[in-house]
């Protein structure tokens, strides 16, 4: 099945979706994005994603010309056209096309791109065995809660993890404070309690992160959002990640050191199972 | 005169230069760039610019498929086709086109874009009167010496300066250490000596910055590259900026406080005049 794109006002095969080399997304990384999964045609927590999109746009002072309702319509039609069981929806807005100059262009319409691809499969073996992580000093800018497309530092960190045959990179400050991973949020379990770094300017306030905290509440598992040191994660009973496409995934090794006994723990399994159940029961918001 | 572009292998009007929405420059800011000025067809310090381009590419592990000689040929032909007296040459390489996934794509050819526009004119009045600056805390990432296209933080800082009717923003750490400006390097003059922030990971190692230090040497003006505090700049005898397109420009006010008596000082004028003379004498490298 070919990847479908929506560009400004029309759907097309992705090969036909082209933008100007003067698009500010291309020359400046001057834009924002969201990634969502639609399960059987139903986007998960769509309104939270679209609210975050609006917030990201406002933070970089990009005036969206599409309403939330219009974006929803583009999404729902694209999901239907693509026809996958589960769809990964990508939305991107940039500050539009203008001759290259750093200042905001006047009277330029934002570029709106959406793509519709099959949701990547996370194998049952990966879910059962868990994944490896590496630790990398976080070099990103000071406004990581903005979901901007200027992602080069994330790309470099993620690739560095791949090069070490790890799934993800834990990004931490020089003093050991953990921010998040390069494309996911991180949690650990200690004495039956789920802990995750508090929301700051140095991490993305993940929708799936929020879902995990909600699910823990459903399951009567105590949670805490607080300042987290790398040492606490290394000494934890369990470590897991949250992300839009893989949902919840246990981490069993960090920089070649096992977490606890090196297996995916019971709390991680309960949260992951509850996530599955939530989808099966059709509770998408 | 229409803006000319070069894209991968051909010259075209810029309106025809389009790239895929899956280009990693567009979705990740995953690329590097250079801006040069050609005076009467002669690029200024071209080899230094191209060496920096190679270094930036190496830092983000982008394997350029074009040799320095090929890039030079593209530049020289584009400058001739554009036919301006003075040309602003823009070069950009991205990691190419691939379905969106953070990790480096295998076997993907980099995208090579060049544009050729008339060099912007800096008015004689601006050169005579000097410009205003504002101070902004630097939110950028930890590898600003890499000339990457993930420039959103620079865009936001530059726009914030424009909103204050200032020409540029001085970017400084929370502790007052000055890095550079959003699109230029900064210098100050104290007791006849030219001082500029030393090269670090938090500033671009400007080619025009280097030229200014060379010109100061020609003129027997002592220079220093060192850690610079905002306070030292505010108390300086003179402040000036260096940048590829405007060369050298005096700054007379910072956050509504005059620098010295609020006029462009004699050392700044000597350096600017020497820059002009160097071009007139055809010393381009």
Tell me the average pLDDT of chain B: 97
* Nearest residue on chain B to A117, alpha-carbon basis: B99
For B66, other C-beta atoms within 10 Å of its C-beta total: 16
Whether residue A101 lies in the annotated active site: no
| Model pTM score | 0.97
Q: Any chain B CB within 8 A of the CB of A143?
A: yes
Contact B26 A25 (CB under 8 A): yes
Residue given tokens 């190692």 in the structure block: B205
Residue appearing with tokens 């099959």: A118
What does the pLDDT look like over B239-266, one tens digit per residue? 999 999 999 999 999 999 999 999 999 9
pLDDT digits (tens, 9 = 90+) for A65-109: 999 999 999 999 999 999 999 999 999 999 999 999 999 999 999
Q: In sequence order, which residues have a C-beta less than 8 Å from that of residue B219 and are 6 or more positions away?
A: B270, B271, B274
| Nearest one of B112, B99, B134, B96 to B11, comparing CA atoms | B112
Position A1 scores a pLDDT of 59
Q: What's residue A3's pLDDT?
A: 83
Complex-level ipTM beyond the 0.95 threshold: yes
Helix axis angle for A46-59 and A68-82, nearest 10°, is 130
- The confidence score (pLDDT) of residue B30 equals 98
* Count of beta carbons in the 10 Å neighbourhood of residue A122: 16
Phi-psi region of B72 (alpha: psi -120 to 50; beta: other; left: phi over 0): alpha
Cβ pairs bridging A and B (under 8 Å):
162
pLDDT tens track for A133-155: 999 999 999 999 999 999 999 99
Query: How would DSSP label each residue in chain B?
Result: -PPEEEETTEEEEGGG-EEETTBHHHHH--EEEEEEEEETTEETTHHHHHHHHHHHHHHTT----S-HHHHHHHHHHHHHHH--SEEEEEEEEE--B-SS-SSPPTT-PPEEEEEEEEPPPPPHHHHHH-EEEEEEE----S-TTS-BS--HHHHHHHHHHHHTT-SEEEEE-TTSBEEEESSSEEEEEETTEEEEEPP-TTS---HHHHHHHHHHHHTT--EEEE--BHHHHHT-SEEEEEETTTEEEEEEEETTEESTTSS--HHHHHHHHHHHHHHHTT---
Q: Are A14 and A3 in contact (CB under 8 A)?
A: yes
Segment B4-59, tens digit of pLDDT:
999 999 999 999 999 999 999 999 999 999 999 999 999 999 999 999 999 999 99
Of residues B85, B57, B82, B48, the one with CA closest to residue B244 = B48
- A11 interfacial to chain B (CB closer than 8 Å): no
Q: Does A164 touch chain B (CB under 8 A)?
A: no
pLDDT for res B3: 83
Interface of B with A in 15-44 (CB under 8 A): 15, 17-30, 33
Residues of chain A with Cβ-Cβ distance to B140 below 8 Å are: 141-142
Average pLDDT, chain A: 97
């Amino acid at each position: 099945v070919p990847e479908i794109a929506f560009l400004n006002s029309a759907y097309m095969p992705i090969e036909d979706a082209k933008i100007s080399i003067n698009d500010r997304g291309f020359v400046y990384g001057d834009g924002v994005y969201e990634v969502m999964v639609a399960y059987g045609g139903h986007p998960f927590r769509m309104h939270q994603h679209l609210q975050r999109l609006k917030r990201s746009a406002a933070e970089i002072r990009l005036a969206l010309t599409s309403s939330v309702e219009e974006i929803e319509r583009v999404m729902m039609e694209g999901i239907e056209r693509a026809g996958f069981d589960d769809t990964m929806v990508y939305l991107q807005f940039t500050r539009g096309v203008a001759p290259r100059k750093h200042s905001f262009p006047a009277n330029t319409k934002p570029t709106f791109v959406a793509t519709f691809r099959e949701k990547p499969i996370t194998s049952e073996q990966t879910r059962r065995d868990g994944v490896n992580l590496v630790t990398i000093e976080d070099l990103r800018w000071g406004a990581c809660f903005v979901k901007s497309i200027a992602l080069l530092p994330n790309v470099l960190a993620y690739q560095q993890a791949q090069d070490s045959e790890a799934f993800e990179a834990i990004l931490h400050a020089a003093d050991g404070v953990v921010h998040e991973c390069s494309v996911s949020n991180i949690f650990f379990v200690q004495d039956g309690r789920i802990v995750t770094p508090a929301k700051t300017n140095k991490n993305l306030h993940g929708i799936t992160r929020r879902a995990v905290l909600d699910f823990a509440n459903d399951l009567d598992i105590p949670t805490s959002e607080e300042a987290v040191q790398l040492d606490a994660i290394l000494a934890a009973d369990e470590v897991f990640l949250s992300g839009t496409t893989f949902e919840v995934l246990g981490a069993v090794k960090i920089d070649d050191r096992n977490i606890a006994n090196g297996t995916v723990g019971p709390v991680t399994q309960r949260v992951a199972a509850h996530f599955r159940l939530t989808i099966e029961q059709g509770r998408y918001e």
